[in-house]
Amino acid sequence: MSQAQYTRDAYGNALVELGGRDASIVVLDADLSGSTRTSFFRDKFPGRFVNFGVAEQNMMASAAGLASCGKIVFASTFAMFATARALDQVRNSICYNNLNVKIVATHGGITVGEDGASHQALEDVNFFRAIPNMKIIVPCDGPETRSAVIAAYETPGPFYIRLGRAKAETIKNKSEFILGKGYILGKGKDVAIIACGITVGEAIGARVLLEKEGISATVANFHTIKPIDQDLVVDIARNHKKIVVCEEHQITGGLFSAVSEVLVRKYPVRVEPVGIEDRFGQSGKPQELLDFYGLTSRSIAEKAKKLVRQQS
C-alpha cells in the first residue's frame, strides 16, 4: 500500500509543531498562505504571522530585518517568486548578513501543471545555489519535508527548502535525515541513479525496470543540494563509474551540476542528466508533463541502460 501526501501539508504541520515549541518563530507569506499551508501556523499563532500581500521583495528584505532582531523567520511563497523575483533581497539582505531566514517555497518544478511555464520554477535551485551561506534542501516526501524543516530550524543561517504542488508518494525505507548527507536507498553495481525531490520515487521505479533487464542499479537520495555530500558522490563514482542524476529542474545549476562539480574535481566518471533541458514548461497534467519532459521511471531507466551499454 503506497501512501501519498502533500509535502506542503507536512510543512504546515511542522510549522505548527515548531511554533508551539519556540516563541521566536515568525512566519511570513505573500498572499499564498492557503497554497503554501502557512495558514496552519496563522490560525494557531496569528500574532506571529505576517501577510505581505503580493510583494515578495518586501517580504524577503523584511524577513532579514526580523531575523536581525532575533526572530527565526520562515518565509513562504511559490518557488518562482521566492527565488527569481526576490533574488537581490535574498542575496544582499538575507545571505550576505547570514541571517536566520528559512525560505520554504512550494510549487517548485514542472508538476505545478496546469498553471504553465510562468509558474513552473525550473531554475530556482540554480538561482540560490551560487549564493554564499545559503543551504538548499529538496525533500522527496512528506516525512522528509518535516525533517528538513526541523533541520533548518535547528541550524543557524539562511535555508531554501523547495517543495512541490502535487502529492508525493512516501518513500519507504529511508535513512535518517542528516543535513548535508545523502544516502543509498538500494544498492546495485552497474549504474548509480542520484535523485532528489519527486525524482527519488521515479528513480526507485527505474531501478525495478532495470532489474527486469538484468541491470543492477544503485539509487541514492541527495535531499541536500547544498552543501552537497561530496564523500558520498565520490564513493558512488568509485563503485559504479556510471551515474545518472535526476531532478525536476533545469539541468543547469541544480543537482546534476552540483554532482558534476564534485566529480570533475575528485573522481571523473560518466554522468548523464535527467532533467529539463534548457526549455520552458507548459500547461498540462503533472503526469503528462513528467512524460513529455522525460522525468519518469521509464526515461530514467532508458538513460541508465544507454549509459551501461556504452563502451566507457
Partner 1 sequence: MKNRVKALKNKANSIRKLIIKMLAEAKSGHPGGSLSSTEIITCLYFDVLRHDPKNPTWQERDRFHLSKGHCCPAVYAALALSGYFSTKELMNLRKFGSLLQGHPDSRTPGIEVASGSLGQGLSVSLGMALAAKMDKKDWRVYCLMGDGENQEGNIWEAAMACAHFKLDNLCAVIDYNCFQIDGRTEEIMNLEPLANKWESFGWHVIQCDGHNIEELLLAFEEARATRLKPAVIIAHTVKGKGVSFMEHVADFHGRAPTEKEQAVALRELEEVEREEGKLD
With binding defined as CB under 8 A, does residue 89 bind partner 1?
yes
Nearer to partner 1, 103 or 163 (CB): 103
End-to-end Cα separation, the chain, in angstroms: 40
DSSP structural state of residue 108: B
Binding piece for partner 1, criterion CB under 8 A, among 44-52, 106-114, 251-259, 268-276: 44-52
With binding defined as CB under 8 A, does residue 268 bind partner 1?
no
- Other beta carbons within 10 angstroms of residue 5's beta carbon come to 16
Rg (Cα) of the chain, in Å, rounded?
19
Nearer to partner 1, 50 or 196 (CB): 50
CB of residue 66 vs partner 1: minimum separation in angstroms?
A: 4
List 18, 50, 136, 236, residue binding partner 1 (CB under 8 A): 50
With binding defined as CB under 8 A, does residue 70 bind partner 1?
yes
User: Residue 245: in which H helix or E strand, if any?
Assistant: strand 242-250
The full DSSP string for 70-100 is T-EEEEE-BHHIIIIITHHIIIIIIITTT--
Binding piece for partner 1, criterion CB under 8 A, among 48-56, 112-120, 173-181, 235-243: 48-56
With binding defined as CB under 8 A, does residue 27 bind partner 1?
no
With binding defined as CB under 8 A, does residue 53 bind partner 1?
yes
- Other beta carbons within 10 angstroms of residue 128's beta carbon come to 27
Tell me which residues are annotated as active site: 56
With binding defined as CB under 8 A, does residue 15 bind partner 1?
no
- Order of strands, edge to edge, in the sheet holding 217-221? 183-186, 217-221, 191-195, 242-250, 270-276
Are 217 and 207 in contact by the 8 Å Cβ rule? The answer is: yes
List 7, 36, 39, 93, residue binding partner 1 (CB under 8 A): 93
Binding piece for partner 1, criterion CB under 8 A, among 89-97, 205-213, 258-266, 292-300: 89-97
With binding defined as CB under 8 A, does residue 71 bind partner 1?
yes
Of 144, 108, 142, 140, the closest CA to residue 286 belongs to 108
List 40, 41, 52, 78, residue binding partner 1 (CB under 8 A): 52
Residues 116-175 that bind partner 1 (CB under 8 A): none
List 1, 2, 46, 47, residue binding partner 1 (CB under 8 A): 47
Binding piece for partner 1, criterion CB under 8 A, among 42-50, 137-145, 150-158, 296-304: 42-50
CB of residue 208 vs partner 1: minimum separation in angstroms?
A: 49
Cβ burial 184-218 (10 Å sphere, 16+ → b, else e): bbbebebbbbbbbbbbbbbbbbbbebbeeeebebb
CB of residue 14 vs partner 1: minimum separation in angstroms?
A: 21
Cα–Cα dist 275/143, whole Å: 24
Nearer to partner 1, 71 or 129 (CB): 71
List 58, 133, 170, 252, residue binding partner 1 (CB under 8 A): 58
Cα–Cα dist 293/113, whole Å: 12
Are 78 and 116 in contact by the 8 Å Cβ rule? The answer is: no
Binding site for partner 1 (CB under 8 A): 26, 47-48, 50, 52-53, 55, 57-71, 88-89, 91-93, 96-97, 99
